[in-house]
Amino acid sequence: VAPTTTTTVAPTTTTTVALTCAMGGACVVGDTGPGGGIVFYVADSTQSWGRYLEAACVGWSDGTCGGDDSTDPTAEWGCYEYEVSGAEGTAIGAGEQNTADIVDPSTGCPDYNAAGLANALVLGGQDDWFLPSKDELNEMHSQRTVIVGSVGTYWSSSQDDGMYAWSHLFAPAVETVDLHIKVNMFYVRPVRAF
């Protein structure tokens, strides 16, 4: 009879870790998103563009959160007297396509402008930032105390025509959505969808 051996195996322990918003879990307004920004919009269900929108964090302009650059940078909307084909979307989910149309060298105006500034951002390892549409910017305004930012007018990526684009004044107890001439220097705050 061959000798036998007995092996004792230690019990396996399983640890369950809840995923945070930044790690791919569920998000609520105010959470830190995967790009290091602040979640300001949560759709009822997953949409064609995603489910969540996060605004770049304070100090985003140097590619990091915080620091000394707590004021959002300003830029022209650009493309003055030129209507960018496709950049008229105003709905939630339209900002990414508007931005792509604006910075497209074949149809847009790829010079330095608000959309170009947002599109060039790499933050939190994410490079899919864009200038929010009119309705996305309105949602940002409704959550302005959560995302923080400069008091003043911000550009959306939604144009009206070759002369005007939509903007929103961010100020306490003020709800002002206006068309402004594209050469105005207004604040820029990139967002991303996920």
How high is the mean pLDDT in each 10-residue block of the chain (194 residues)?
A: 58 76 95 97 97 95 82 93 93 97 86 91 96 97 89 96 95 83 96 98
Residues 187 and 150: their CA atoms lie apart, in Å, by 8
Residue for token pair 């092996």: 7
Q: What is the pLDDT of residue 17?
A: 76
Secondary structure in 3-state letters for 118-135: HHCCCECCECCCECCCHH
Q: How far is CA 113 from CA 49, 76, 78, 80, 144, in A?
A: 24, 5, 5, 11, 23
Q: What is the pLDDT of residue 5?
A: 54
Question: H-helix or E-strand containing 102?
Answer: helix 95-103
Q: What is the pLDDT of residue 8?
A: 61
Identify whether the C-beta of residue 156 lies closer than 8 Å to the C-beta of residue 95: yes
